[in-house]
Structure 1
Amino acid sequence: MKKKLIYFISGILIIVSAVSCDKQLDLSPVSSITDANYWKSPEQFDAFVYGIHARFRSHTSSLQALGELRSDIFGTEPGNAGTFSGEATQGLERFWQQTLSLDAAGVSNFGDFYSNIVQINLLIDKLNNSNIVTAANKNYYLGLAYGMRAYYYFQLTRAWGDVVIQTDPISSIDVSNLAKAASPAADVMALIKSDIENSVTSFGSDYSFRNTRSFWSKAATHMLKAEVYLWTAHRSGGTADANTALNALTDIETNVTGLTVLPSFASVFASNNKGNNEIIFAIRNKLNESSLPFAGTFYPQTALLANYYDSVGNRKFNVNQDNWAGLLRAPVTVSTFRKFNDLDSRKWFTIQPAYNSPSPGVYNIVGCFVKKYEGEQNLGSRIYTNDFPIYRYADLLLMKAEAKIILGQSPATEINIVRARAFGSNYVANVQGFPNQAIDANPNEALLQERLFEFIFEGKRWLDLRRFGDSYVFEHTTVLPTEAYKLLWPISRNALTNNRALLQTPGYPAF
């Protein structure tokens, strides 16, 4: 049987039929393009790498859901089963109410991550057995391949614990042997750390960014390394792993010039400021090419929003200026909005409150929604062409602060760079600066709050709480200590039906 693979052209995947475990464990790529007429030129390798990043972009919704939807950001207001605008949550309440189950697993198909893992495995194999690509490109592509595979497996094990490991290239399907058992989480973590080191070694001394920071890079691998080792530092790794994380972050600062926090928080996310000096790695979107997939979940219908008011602008919303054109299923809670200091610029850029106005100049808040990604206007429509950051310099600073806290060092320098940008001209060091806020008496809580304010809608809050430890999840979300199994996600019925070697996540009803 001829070896078969999926063929990418200019970053756009040609999707063809695939037989697999209900695509819940999509381990086998299938296409009519064979080894006989592919992998014959550098351009074909280049196209495949573009395609891997294009598929990575298609996982934006899964990354955001796994990273945030079960946290303390989203939810309906007390006494209201729907959103402030009257739109139904349509099952998304299961995330923040922690009622996910076998038949409502929240994120299906393991985020569809295996569909790209198998492509990465194939790329690694072809690069290691080809001399067509220049040495520089070969090493760069191997670096990004190992780094992205580690990133995917880190997402998988944090969500489901034990997961299937597949690192060999699969070129054909044996329909009589589709089942494959999950590997222990410890083995998955060992693979992640091994892939990270292979990525660092492959990149060598090449710290360059490609495709205006929308390709994985050595800096992205070091960010992942820091995140992984902070995860283990909060568990059994302790100060040794915290030092490893700190060294990875310091390596970026030493070898990547120009990284900084931009003076304006809003400018980091502007659709006309892609690949700016705060970005380390971001999912690229572009007008007439791709857009963020959030309108159907996080933004209200334009006509419904027009019934409410913007107190800051002292105006009623209107269908021309406020054409969000969405379906609000996951509103931001008013309590989340109120956690911010009014002088913090992130409050007003990140979250849009909506008000009733019973009389001129009088406003009563009724609800909120995320507005961090405002997109751009095109022919009377709002198109969400903002990039979705995976890693940026503010994240580096706050992870560095986290490592320092574990090591018994002061996190003040890093936290205060982030706070100073947030408060701008309103920043007063002995008022807003660390350690002068009341919450700073508990450095872990201070850092978690700073990360909440900085990274809302970047897919980090739930994972931040998980990284710091179970007690933080119990404190800040609706997961109860008596239901600690809910720290992980359930596997869907279809996945278990089609891969009989899989077992349901412990604690959820067995299949």
Structure 2
Amino acid sequence: MKKSILKLGLLAAVLSFQTACNTALELEPTSVITNASFWKTEDDAKGGLTSLYVKQRDLANINLFIWGEARSEVMEWGKVSGTLDYDRYYLNTLSSVSAGPSWQSIYSAINDANLILKYVPNITFANETDKNNLLAQTYVSRAFLYFVLVRTWGEVPIRTEPVEGAEPDVIQKVRSSQQDVFKLIKEDLEKANSLFASYGFIKNRNYWSKAGTQALKADVYLWTAKRLNGGNADLQTAITACDDVAKADVSLLANYADLFKYSNKNNKEVIMAIGNKELESSNNYFFNMYSARLPNEIDPNTNEVIGQTAGGMVWTVTDLAKNQFKPGDLRKAASVLDLPAPALYPTLILKGRGTLISGVRYYTSDFVIYRYADVLLMKAEAKNALGQDPSLEMNQIRQRAFGSAFDANRFVNGSKAQNDQLILQERLLELMFEGKRWWDLLRFNKAFDLVPTLAGKSSLKHLEYFPISEQVLSLEPLVKQTVGY
């Protein structure tokens, strides 16, 4: 009995922990803040939303990349340092005792959302539009978090009540069906969409907006259309959502490389990005994709491109992925850089190399959740699934990618299967290292065909999901491990 109570207490502590800011200061508490005393003012509500965004940023530092891309054919050992156990992802050797990031951090963020949705409706705001926008951001945040959960683990517990104590019926939940999880996601998206006042961005593009809601909606309905038998209706909803994104102030940048310049954050192509800032947040996952040292024979021009380096090169891009860039594709030079002596200095990933301050490199590039090129490719995918011609969207992407060489690389409509193959490849080249590839492979049902470490394992469907860690199983006795792990 004591053991069960201890488990409940530990889980409650994990899920109910809140902070309104991200600070390294350690202060002695002068008072005890409870939910009953905290949720009183507009500032309290804004503090709760800040906590929710901070936890989404924590997820974006590395976990979203691990769940969304690390198990694909994109990454391999960097040969310069150790593996940091990242090899379990690209080698696909996960198990319950080596499961990768657990879902506890996601549920902690969901708990912040649930607290906001419980208490904020009863708080008076000076401006009702501000209140509605805050609630809308909360609903779409919760939808996004559950979307990460359901794609990563399949059936997951649904928690819509905040954990504020140790009540077993609130804490302990069984895994719900994917259909039920997506029902909640879609309901939250509709609530968010109805609450946003306009297609304008809130402060900047580091906050969920109506456009971000529509981008997420397109992603969700494309997934349910192809993975949960949503059929043509869901495909059409995805296309409509993509069209709705275009109502906002978004467009493709003329130069692909400009997307990733540190000085060009919040550019017009960005729809939603998790914001990072030097001296405010820790290095993100790109830290381990950038070399700590350079070969002596490096030429001055390359040295200028790289600048001051720091990091461990724990992993890098595979030749399989990198070599799919065709001659003339301008995206390659903006994404990767091959150094002299490749046996000693593997390919550097350039997209997220952050910024230099006083000779120190800070890997605090934003983690882009959605940008307009992604939306155009989702629309192309949905149109092709409906038997429509995706050439318009595909060629918008290729025109920027190839510039003056576009005519020789123009997309030409073919069969559904041919188009699917090209659309999936286009997503690889356009969105490489942006935390998309694993989920793209699952949506196209190509993980077992295109990931070398999964070859010949198509009968092991549980490998499409991450295992549930032993830690989570010990804290949540009603949760059962995914069959096969």
Fold match by TM threshold 0.5: yes
Residue type at the aligned position of 1:194: E
1:415 alignment counterpart = 394
**RMSD, aligned CA:** 2.6
Tell me if structure 1 keeps the 8 A contact 2:272–2:369: yes
Q: Which residue of 1 aligns with 2:39?
A: 39
Q: Aligned with 2:181: secondary structure? A: helix
Q: Distance in 2 between matches of 1:129 and 1:413?
A: 47
The equivalent position to 1:209 in structure 2, one of 184, 198, 201, is 201
Number of the residue aligned with 1:121: 114
Q: Give the deviation of 1:37 after TM superposition.
A: 4.0
Letter of the structure 1 residue corresponding to residue 79 of structure 2: F
Partner of residue 306, structure 1? 295
Contact 2:286 2:352 in 1 (8 A): no
The CA deviation at 1:314 is 7.3
Pairwise mapping of residues 62-461 of structure 1 onto structure 2 (< 5 A)? Answer: 62-76=63-77, 83-85=78-80, 87-108=81-102, 110=103, 112-132=105-125, 134-174=127-167, 178-203=171-196, 205-235=197-227, 236-253=229-246, 255-256=247-248, 258-302=249-293, 305-306=294-295, 309=298, 321-356=306-341, 367-428=346-407, 431-435=408-412, 442-461=418-437
Higher helix share: 2
> Aligned partners of 1:338, 1:21: CA distance in 2, in Å?
51
> What amino acid does structure 2 have at the position aligned with 1:324?
T
Moved more, 168-177 or 326-335: 168-177
Contact 2:163–2:171, Cα closer than 8 Å, also in 1: no
Once the two structures are TM-superposed, the CA of residue 101 in structure 1 deviates from its matched residue by: 0.4
Q: What SS does the aligned partner of 1:391 have?
A: strand
CA distance in 2, matches of 1:24, 1:62: 22
Partners of 1:273 and 1:58 lie apart in 2 by 22
After TM superposition, give the deviation of residue 84 of structure 1 in Å: 3.4
Please give the per-residue CA displacement for 1:283-340, whole angstroms capped at 9, x wherever unaligned: 11122222541255322222xx335757xx776x59x954331112221112221110
Counterpart residue identity of residue 501, structure 1:
L
Distance across 2 between alignment mates of 1:296 and 1:401:
33
Is the Cα–Cα contact under 8 Å of residues 20 and 27 in structure 1 kept in the other structure?
no
**What secondary structure, in the 3-state scheme, does the structure 2 residue paired with 1:198 have?**
helix
Match of 1:465? 441
Residues 120, 149 of structure 1: 8 Å contact kept: yes
Alpha-carbon distance in 1 for matches of 2:292, 2:41: 48
Moved more, 365-374 or 47-56: 365-374
Aligned length: 463
Question: What runs of 5+ residues in structure 2 fail to find an aligned partner?
Answer: 1-5, 20-31
User: What is the CA–CA distance in structure 2 between the aligned matches of 1:232 and 1:182, rounded to whole Å?
Assistant: 18
- Alignment identity in percent? 37
Pick closer, same or farther for the CA change 1:481–1:397 going to 2, 3 Å: same
2:474 aligned counterpart, secondary structure: helix
Inter-CA distance 35–277: structure 2 relative to 1 (3 Å threshold): same
Residue aligning to 2:26: none
C-alpha spacing 1:177/1:404, structure 2 compared with 1 (3 Å): closer
| CA 503–21 in structure 1, closer or farther in 2 if over 3 Å, else same | farther
Contact between 1:287 and 1:385, CA under 8 Å: does it hold in 2? yes
Q: Which amino acid aligns with 1:272?
A: S
Distance 2:222 2:36 in 1: 45
How high is the TM-score relative to the length of structure 1?
A: 0.84
Q: In 2, Cα distance between the equivalents of 1:333 and 1:504?
A: 32
Amino acid at match of 2:64: L
Whether the 8 Å CA contact 2:83–2:315 is kept in 1: the answer is yes
Question: Aligned partners of 2:91 and 2:478: how far apart in 1?
Answer: 30
Gaps of 5+ in 1: 1-17, 77-82, 357-362
Query: 1:370 deviation in Å?
Result: 1.5
- The one-letter code of the counterpart of 1:172 is G
- Alignment match, 1:10: none
Q: Could you tell me how far 1:384 is from its partner in structure 2?
A: 2.0
Letter in 2 for 1:96: Y
User: Residues of 2 paired with 1:434 and 1:391: CA distance?
Assistant: 23
Asked if the contact 1:21/1:499 (under 8 Å) is kept, the reply is no
Deviations 1:192-237 (A, max 9, x none): 111111111222x422211311011111111111111101111311
Cα deviations across residues 261-289 of structure 1 (Å, max 9, x unaligned)?
10111111211112111010001112222
* Contact 2:65-2:285 within 8 A present in 1 as well: no
Provide TM-score, normalisation by structure 2: 0.89
The 1-side partners of 2:338 and 2:383 are apart by: 36
Which SS does the other structure have where 2:347 is aligned?
A: strand
Q: Which residue of 2 aligns with 1:54?
A: 54
**Structure 2: how far apart are the matches of 1:486 and 1:344?**
33
Q: 2:331 and 2:266 mapped to 1: Cα distance?
A: 20
